[in-house]
Each structure stands twice: as C-alpha cells, then as structure tokens.
Amino acid sequence: MKVVIAGAGFGGLRLARKLNNKAGFEVVLVDKFNYHQFQPLFYQVATAGLDASNISFPLRKVFQKSKNVKIRLAELKEVLPAEKKIVTDIETISYDVLVLATGADTNFFGNSQLAHHAFPMKSTVEALQIRHRLLKLFEDAHSIADPLELQRLMNIVVVGGGPTGVEVSGALAEMKKYVLPKDYPELDFSRMNIYLLEGAGKTLAAMSEKSSAQSQKYLEKLGVKVMTNTLVKDYDGKEVHLKDNTSIPAATVIWAAGIKGNIPAGLDESLIAKGNRIKTDRYCRVQGFDNIYALGDLAYMETPKYPAGHPQVAPAAIQQADMLAGNLKLLEQKSNPDRMYQFEYTDKGSMATVGRNLAVVDMPKPKLHFGGFVAWLIWMGLHLMLILGVKNRFFVFFNWLYNYITYDQNLRLIFREFNREERRQP
C-alpha cells in the first residue's frame, strides 16, 4: 500500500512514524520544509528565548533507519482524485492512500492590508521575522527625535487572546522588564506599551473561567494592556484601527487572531466547512472518498461530543494519526471493515504560560485547575517531553534554566540580508 502523507506537522509525522518499517507499506512524506516544527514554542523563538534549531528537527534524521519512508521536499499544489495522484511544485506523485495533514495558516479574514502589514506566527521562519523586527525597532529608536514617532515605534500590538497571543504578550512584557533596559539604557522603556486585543470578553476563552481570569490577572501584573471586547478593523502599518473608531499607533502588530485550513486545489467546494476545513467521517476519511483522509487542523469531523468539530490542537492531530495508522494496517491485511476504529477525541487538558512562574492548566478528568508556579512546572515538563530529539530537549531545558537564573536571553542577534552583488568591504 503506497501511502502519501502531505504535511509533516504533529499528525502527518506521527502517522509516518507509526507506519515506519511496517511490512506492506510504502510511505512518501511530503512537506515544503525539511524539518518538523514544534509550534507551541514559536513565541519563544520570536522573543529571543530559544534558537530556531532548538524547536526544529530534520525529517531525514527522524527516518535515517527507515526502509519504507521517503521524504520529498515539495509543496502540494493540487489533488487529482480520479487519477490517484497529487501535483507538487517539483513532481507528480501517485498514491493508493492519500493523507492530507497540511495544517492551518493564519486567517486575516480577507483583509489584504492586514495580511500585508501584520506579522503572523505560524512557522519558524515567521517567528524569526518577528524577532528580527523587534530587535531592529529598538536599534532604530535611537535615531528618532519625534516623540510621536518614537511612541509608535515602542507600541507593540498583539491581536488574539488565545494561548499564542497570551504567551507572546507575556514574553514581550518580560523582555521589557528584564532584558531591554539593560541592552538599550538610552531608551525609556516606561514608554513601551504592549497591547493585547481580544474580540471576546476574556482571554483564553476556550479554557475555564478560572484560567481566563488568572491569565488576564497575570498579564496585567506584567504590565500588558489587555483590551477585551475589542475588534480590529484595519491596520495600515502605522495605526491599528478598531471597530469603535478609535486607533492605536503601532509599528508592529503580531496577528494571532485566527487560523484557516491549508486546502489544496482539486477538492470539491462542498467538502469545505467553516474555518476552511475538510469534512470527514468518523474514520478521518474525506467525505465521498474511500482512499483520501484528512488529519489535525485540516479535518472537520462532527461527533456527538464535538458537534462543531474538534479543537485544532496537537493532541487531536496525534490521536487521529494513531487511529488512522491502526485502520490502515487493518486495510492492508484486508481485515473485516467492522473492526475499523472510529475516532473519539480524549481531551487530556489544556494549558498556557504567561511568564516566569505564571501559567494556567485545566484538566478535565479529574476536573482540576492549576495556576501559578505549579502550573508553570507542568507546562514546562509536558513541552519538554513533546519536543523531538534528546539534543533539542537538552538545549531547550538549558536555555530555560539559563534564562530563569540570569533573567536574560542570549539569542538577540540581527542577521542582515545581503544582495548577491554585495561584497565584503575591508
């Protein structure tokens, strides 16, 4: 059975590893990057807490000892269901079974100006772009005499009060408090404002009331200006225009307000659900097909427990991949279809960190809530376990320990881009 997996995120990589060296399977893993990205820690790369290599793991290293998994560095362009092929930017690949695990991208809700000026954070590259932008801003601030322009430069707006928005806001606030005044003693950081804008009435709306209230309390304790029930209308690169016709001058906007599925061309529009997700049955099969599946953020599956689809989080993608791996093994063995597993998501809890010794954790069974230092330790321990590679875990732990002891980060590097024609001057 030739299984083509498009996307090496949490779901796609998990499925490939489950089928690794299994008799009867030929696996082709297609991704536009040659590494797996640990998305929960993008915000730490963006705020100079971790190096990009610490949260990225080469795909070919994962499958160095594999006899049946091939890696293709390519971008999926189109699915040809009638021909059982996919079209990429470098070649056409045939399949017996196709698994779409291309994940989700930033949703700017059709606003092209926002998409042009705001910074998303859905990849390691985008996280590095944010880091470069933030550090360059403070270097440029020394040469600005106009107080209004300087204030615009020192205002940072984060849009979206989910885990990503809360975590990056907290990390920026800690940079402002502990790091930036030492690096730039000429600047008055009491003038630096970090705004967190959330359209709902609370931060971390998907978590418990306790977590929402605590997260906002922690953010405000760190000096973040939390603005709930606040919707962004537009951003022109200089002013954030809000729905209530007020505005915030800001040179930098980090957009964490929504995601949409990365759906390739070739699938019927009737299969697309809210959030640009693909409708599937309880086996993760795309509706109307018996050999095309969708996993993770891309999959829209209605169940009695989740009538509006499952949360777009890593555990859901991993659990779907485990189920699908079991079903594909049964199919390859030509087992009775009645033995096939239906998907049922097991929610093991949710968490978010705000800063040093500050985090929130919700556990459904038993129903427990943790906040503060204990929750922070739980958050760190779980994320360390989930990172691929012993070396990566060591470096992440070492960086966290170093930052905790010294109240500092050592990754504040600005790499300038050179044109091909430029030469080094002596």
In angstroms, the CA 227 to CA 23 distance is: 55
Which amino acid is located at 289 in the chain?
F
Report helix, strand or coil for 400. Answer: helix
167 is catalytic: yes
Q: Is 302 exposed, middle or buried (0-12, 13-18, 19+ CB in 10 A)?
A: middle
- Taking Cα atoms as reference points, which of 81, 93, 76 lies closest to residue 28? 93
- Six-digit token pair at 320? 């779907």
Contacts for 37 with CB less than 8 Å, ≥ 6 apart:
9, 55, 56, 123, 124
Quote the Cα angle for 208-214-217, to 5°.
Answer: 145
Bridge partners of 235?
A: 240
CB 230 within 8 A of CB 246: no
Q: Are strands 259-261 and 104-106 parallel, antiparallel or unpaired?
A: antiparallel
CA dihedral of residues 331, 294, 128, 116 (deg, nearest 10): 160
Choose among 296, 256, 317: nearest CA to 46: 256
How large is the C-alpha radius of gyration of the chain?
23
Here the tokens at position 98 are 């196709």
β-strands 104-106, 155-159: how paired? unpaired
Query: Which tokens belong to 379?
Result: 């958050």
- Mutual orientation of helices 209-221 and 163-174 as an angle, nearest 10°? 20
CA distance 211 to 231: 22
The residue length of the chain stands at 426
Return the H-helix or E-strand segment holding 240. Answer: strand 239-242
The C-alpha atoms of residue 87 and residue 85 are separated, in whole angstroms, by 7
Exactly one of 26, 91, 167, 302 is catalytic; name it.
Answer: 167
Q: Are 166 and 354 in contact (CB under 8 A)?
A: yes
Q: Where in the sequence numbering do the catalytic residues fall? A: 167
